[in-house]
A and B are shown apart, each in its own frame.
Chain A
Amino acid sequence: MPITLEKLSHTYQEGSPFQATALHDINLTIQDGELLALIGHTGSGKSTLAQHLNGLLKPTAGRVLLDGQDINQKDADRRALRFRVGLVFQYPEHQLFEETVRKDIGFGPRNMGLSEQEVEQRVHEAMDKTGLVYDEVGEKSPFELSGGQMRRVALAGVLAMKPDILVLDEPTAGLDPRARDFLLSDIARLHREGTTVVMISHSMDDVARLATRVAVLEKGRLVMEGPPGDIFTQVDRLTAMGLDVPQASKLRHELEAEGIVLPPCYLLDDLADHLAHRLKGGAADAT
């Protein structure tokens, strides 16, 4: 069930002096099973776009179609939509409200009408997936957790609903390196198992590692779109937009300026292979 954004525009506070158009005429289809990364300068409209995917925000022009159905039609089943499209917010503390971590994660499944036993099972599964230890934090208030722990609770709450489409707004922000690694592997696994994922990220290395396609927003417009290999080789264009490229692309680009030209790549592993080939092969050539 692809999601299609059709000529989507969004203007905040239309008609007021604070009116701000955050999205202009976006046309984009999120295909089943893809892992689409959405990147862009701060304020470029990424979070605004994300909140249209599950109907939290309504377009001021254009439509959002899920399976060809306009999700904002009067008779659309908005409740079911929230379960099918799971959104994890940029600031997880906005998403947490229950008095214990266990209840917070169980809120979605409970709302879906699952039995208490099923809810408990989903809570356990989701906590496992996000690296939260039930006996340590299950009965704690989510507001007594560290920043990274809160983020994991918010994510677990969405995973517990087993959505078909997962929308993650800066999922690794605030996570320590191991938790980040853990979460990225988990997202990759969910994706492999068939979940469609939309991931917003400022970390180009995370995007390089996971994305099957990258879309770039600039000032509310969709300006680039394609496989990571096509996007991350455009170092100068991305840099001019205030964005970055993965560390491997950056080093490769700097070496090129020094006359050391390597095949295009954006992952450290590939760069290491190319460098090894070039530097050792170079030695062989010289003799």
Chain B
Amino acid sequence: MTQPHLSLQNVTYTYEENGPEAVSDFSLDVGRGEFVALLGHNGSGKSTVAKLLNGLYTPTGGNVLVAGMDTQDSQYTWEIRKRCGMVFQNPDNQIVATVVREDVAFGLENLGVPSEDMPAIIDRALSAVNMADFADRAPHMLSGGQKQRIAIAGILAMQPEIIVLDEATAMLDPSGREEVLETALRLNREQGITVVWITHFMEEAARSSRVAVMYKGKLVMDGTPREVFSQVDLVREYRLDVPPMTRLAHMLRERGLDVRPDALTIPEMRQEVKRLAHHA
């Protein structure tokens, strides 16, 4: 049996001693090269899990292993941060330098990358998020969406094995969101980078290979998008929803059409309509 890339074992986390459990007896193994969407209501514990994954928080109970290394063992702290890159909800808190190029370089300096190699690495990372033209601009003067992409470039430059993106697309416009999701999917597909994608957009989750759902600190669902989203009532009970095309499929069935109930994406729905139009 191969070792999971990320392993949360009966993890509990409380922000204050004897306080409420933000994460509660949570167990999840993520294999190398998986793309997992982590969903859950506001306050369900997703961001806490994200911070447990790169050792920013250490569990109150249980263990978190990153590539087999326990986050509680301080000798691994640096190694874990290097292998597991994080992009958080608010890009402002991640920007450290006054010029975009330097901001992206920040992590590289800490890794000891020779300075002559840096410009090429930085340019590649900025191109991957379509921000190459902004290399010499001041990050604090960029719009929200632009800042978010710089933060992602900073992580990409460090070439981590695992990337955890905590609502990294929440503030992006539709094309920016698509670019970032496409970038993450491509890094996952082509370089085998393990991705944990935290989101409130069900249509993004529909494109992952695995969906994990949290509810009040606990893991309550885990499966392929089709397995999870076909359980419409349960998903709604957990304060989530199904992707828009799954909703449309249900509306069509209510109107007496024999559409597959588990359609997830626009291409799938287009196929279904074509099939029915042929029969009609």
The one of B167, B175, B255 that contacts A243, using a Cβ cutoff of 8 Å: B175
Closest A residue to B276 using CB positions: A279
Chain A residues 247-279 with CB under 8 Å of chain B are 247-248, 250-251, 254-255, 258, 260, 268-269, 271-273, 275-276, 278-279
Give the residue among A144, A269, A275, A276 with the most B Cβ atoms within 10 A.
Answer: A275
A93 near B273: Cβ-Cβ < 8 Å: no
Chain B residues 157-182 with CB under 8 Å of chain A are 167, 170-177
A280 near B257: Cβ-Cβ < 8 Å: yes
Give the chain B neighbours of A272 by CB distance below 8 A: 248, 251-252, 254-255
Chain A residues 132-148 with CB under 8 Å of chain B are 144-148
Contact flag A177-B239 (CB < 8 Å), given A273-B255, A279-B273: yes
**A227 lies within 8 A of chain B by Cβ:** no
Complex Cα gap A179–B42 (Å): 8
Distance in angstroms from A48 CB to nearest chain B CB is: 9
B171 near A242: Cβ-Cβ < 8 Å: no
Give the chain B neighbours of A247 by CB distance below 8 A: 203, 244-245, 248, 266
**A244 lies within 8 A of chain B by Cβ:** yes
Pick the interface stretch among A36-44, A51-59, A99-107, A189-197. A36-44
A47 near B255: Cβ-Cβ < 8 Å: no
Distance in angstroms from A140 CB to nearest chain B CB is: 11
B89 near A250: Cβ-Cβ < 8 Å: no
The one of B142, B202, B256, B273 that contacts A260, using a Cβ cutoff of 8 Å: B273
Complex Cα gap A90–B146 (Å): 14
The one of B43, B145, B172, B175 that contacts A146, using a Cβ cutoff of 8 Å: B43
**A180 lies within 8 A of chain B by Cβ:** yes
B43 near A145: Cβ-Cβ < 8 Å: yes
Distance in angstroms from A159 CB to nearest chain B CB is: 18
Closest A residue to B255 using CB positions: A276
A-B contact pairs, 14 of them (CB 8 A): A42-B145, A47-B143, A177-B239, A178-B240, A179-B42, A242-B174, A242-B175, A243-B173, A251-B266, A258-B274, A271-B248, A276-B252, A276-B257, A286-B280
**Top 9 A-B pairs ranked by shortest CB distance?**
A42-B145, A148-B42, A244-B174, A282-B280, A242-B175, A177-B241, A272-B251, A276-B255, A43-B143
